[in-house]
Chains A and B, each alone.
Chain A
Amino acid sequence: MSKVVEISPTTRHEGHSKLVLKVNDEGIVERGDWLSITPVRGVEKLAIGKTMEQVPKIASRVCGICPIAHTLAGIEAMEASIGCEIPEDAKLLRYILQCANRMHSHAIHNILSLPDMYIPGTDVKINPFTKEEPVRSVALRIQRLREIGQTIGEIVGGEAIHPSNPRVGGMYKNITPRAKAKLYDLAKESRVLAQEQMEFMIAVFRNYQNRDWSEVGGVEVPITKDLGYHNQGYMATAPVYGSSSLDETPMWFPDRFTEVRPWDWYMGEVEIDEADPNYPIGGTTPVGNKAWPQMEACTGVPLYDGQPVEVGPRARLVQFKNYDEKGAMGLQIARQMEFPETAYGIIDALDALDTSGSVLADEIPQGDGSFGWAANEAPRGTDVHMAKVKDGRVEYFGMLVPTTWNFPTCSRALTGAPWRLAEVIMRAYDPCVSCATHMLVIDEDKRLVAQKLIQ
């Protein structure tokens, strides 16, 4: 007789999502549904009628975590639609941006997933904010990698968070020779740090794999050897950057993509009949509440060749480097393996970059309404933007973001795992649930806390 547990909201990732889990008497997940509960915002509609310059800027604001990926995918979708080839030096600058973004994203994900892990050889969980060694120096290394990634992103992209330098047709400005020298220094420093960080993190994940149990909310939970396994496919368009419909050999095919409604995918209405008030951060949903995933899920379910697929670091390594390790830890380790590559990628691109080269196309066509797409290999996976531009205005715009691809795949990967480890599996995917609302609220009753009202 299966019971239903709900973890809502899920934590230590980006955005709002929840897990609805049907579990057996041993607490093993028989069916798991992982779904976004962030409302659909309708950016695709907002884009219609705007200029092709505006829309990528708008797209970069739909998410505070992947603004670089969204900016680049949005711009390149416009370029694909209008048939605009950009100069080589502009491509190199974008490549550097991509690597810097990935370096930062992977580093911060380490902070998100480390609290599930143990200091190797001990039963001590890692608190990345502790001031005590040996964790303190690891935390400092993570912070330095993040700082380097962001600084490089700022120098090349113009701004650290929402990059202003990339534009339809290339980049607004090339970098100066002094900036290039600075970037070399930063990349070389990060190369060493990234290698050390990769080795440390892989040791931590291997240690978790070899453990028999993990403590969650005061309960010792056995770690299954096939934690987070699934039999779905993988999708990636490039080891580092991405692909667009302008490529001679495009790596993504719109015809292979279909989408079904949440109604056709997620489970129907269920009643919560198991709960654990001691589960971290507020306990699971109390018994007696209802959940209705097929009504509550706020994203469609994208399929590739009729199946959900995994995107992200492992997908890239499977497609391009013969990587074959499955499971949640296999995915985590794949992410770490991408670390050094980000620094080497920046150095290689700098070697090739001519700082006096033009970074803007000689001619920027205004578009005839042709369909174009660009798939950017964002840190969390393939971020596909699609566009039709006519006379400089956007007639159609669509976004297929990484976590949308990963929702149904990860849901499958939950089967067979102890339900208390479902979040460990989910976090391995580094979810970036599209989210946007951002506001200060003083307290629930709108009580005025600050008396220093000005004017």
Chain B
Amino acid sequence: MLFREIVIAGCGNPLFADDGFGPAVVEELQKLQLPDNVKVIDAGLGAPHFLFTLMEDAEVPVKKLIIIDTADFGANPGDVTKLRPEDLPPGTYRDAHSWDLSEPLQRLKDVIDITIIGCQPKRVASHEFELGLTEEVEGAIPKTVRIVLEEIGVEYGATINHQGTHLWASPGETTGDAGENPGEKV
């Protein structure tokens, strides 16, 4: 199934330094065993285009959408904030691909509970590609994972024990399996 009740979408481009925050958090989340009604998606650059415009009429109705992305809200690099779609004036979710097509979040927010978790980036390379997150933003990954788990009501202590990792003890200490999960079993 393309969607489940709860969808967590990590948005952004790992080629633009801290803009890769969303996919990096998704990579961590994919190491965890999450409930069956949760789907974690590395949305990369295609979220509005591939996901948000589809959810309204999805085969499995999406009840909750959590978006993880960088957000310039004037805080210190690595700070994390929670936003509601109402906090975003129409048009400010700047996605060059399809935001101007239909502003899908503004339409979705009436039927789906949407939370946006934004991380203040330190550096977003805008003209040239640059791989890798800055230290500050890398450090925001564990707490973001924790916030996501709280949002979906997962007792993360148990999840950590189950995986036998110290995922958010400190950044970079993860030992879970790599997130490759091709050929989904249906």
Interface positions of A (Cβ within 8 A of B): 11-12, 14-16, 38-39, 41-43, 46, 58, 60-65, 67, 104, 108, 111-112, 129, 139-140, 143-144, 146-147, 150-151, 154-165, 171-176, 178-179, 182, 281, 435-443, 446-450, 452-455
Contacts and interface: CB of A to CB of B under 8 A. Distances in A.
Most buried by A among B72, B81, B83, B184: B184
B12 interface: yes
Nearest to B50: A161
Given A179-B185, A439-B124, A158 B93 contact: no
Contacts of A14: 49, 96-98
A439 B94 contact: yes
Contacts of A160: 2, 41, 50-51
B69 interface: yes
B58 interface: yes
Contact of B15 (A41, A155, A158): A41
A65 B16 contact: no
Contacts of B51: 160-161
B19 to A, nearest CB: 6
Contact of B186 (A162, A179, A281, A449): A179
Contacts of B13: 61, 64, 436-438
B126 interface: yes
Contact of B12 (A15, A151, A438): A438
Given A43-B15, A61-B13, A442 B97 contact: no
A139 B102 CA distance: 13
A440 B42 contact: no
Contacts of A440: 69-72, 83, 88, 92-94, 116, 118
A179 B70 contact: no
B44 interface: yes
B17 to A, nearest CB: 11
B88 A442 contact: yes
A443 B41 contact: no
Interface in B27-44: 41-44
A448 B73 contact: yes
B87 interface: yes
A441 B72 contact: yes
Interface string B4-19: 0000000111111001
Nearest to A57: B14
Contacts of A443: 89, 92
A43 B129 contact: yes
B147 interface: yes
A171 B147 contact: no
14 contacts: A146-B53, A146-B54, A150-B54, A161-B50, A179-B186, A438-B11, A438-B45, A439-B72, A441-B94, A442-B74, A443-B92, A450-B73, A450-B84, A454-B80
Given A61-B15, A64-B45, A108-B49, A435 B97 contact: yes
Nearest to B131: A46
A249 B42 CA distance: 38
B181 to A, nearest CB: 6
A174 B182 CA distance: 9
B74 A143 contact: no
Contact of A450 (B56, B81, B101, B107): B81
B15 A454 contact: no
A14 B69 CA distance: 20
Contact of A171 (B41, B96, B182): B182
Contacts of A447: 74
B113 interface: no
Contact of B72 (A38, A139, A446): A446
Nearest to B71: A440
B127 interface: yes
A156 B47 CA distance: 19
Contact of B45 (A61, A144, A450, A454): A61
Contact of B183 (A58, A162, A175): A175
Interface in B80-120: 80-84, 87-89, 92-98, 100-102, 107, 116, 118
Given A176-B185, A454-B79, 12 more contacts: A61-B45, A67-B46, A111-B53, A111-B102, A129-B102, A161-B43, A162-B44, A173-B182, A437-B94, A438-B13, A440-B69, A455-B143
A104 B127 CA distance: 29
Contacts of A173: 182-183
Given A41-B15, A172-B182, A441-B72, A65 B83 contact: no
Contacts of B95: 438
A12 B101 CA distance: 6
A435 B15 CA distance: 12
Which 7 A-B residue pairs are closest in the complex by CB-CB distance?
Answer: A64-B45, A158-B182, A165-B182, A64-B46, A173-B183, A440-B71, A161-B46
Nearest to A11: B100
Given A147-B54, A448-B75, A450-B87, A158 B184 contact: yes
Contacts of B77: none
B80 A15 contact: no
Nearest to B144: A454
A154 B183 CA distance: 8
Nearest to B69: A440
Interface string B43-68: 11111011101101111000000000
Contact of A42 (B97, B98, B128): B128
Given A155-B184, A173-B183, A63 B54 contact: no
B169 interface: no
B133 to A, nearest CB: 14
B155 interface: no
A442 B44 contact: no
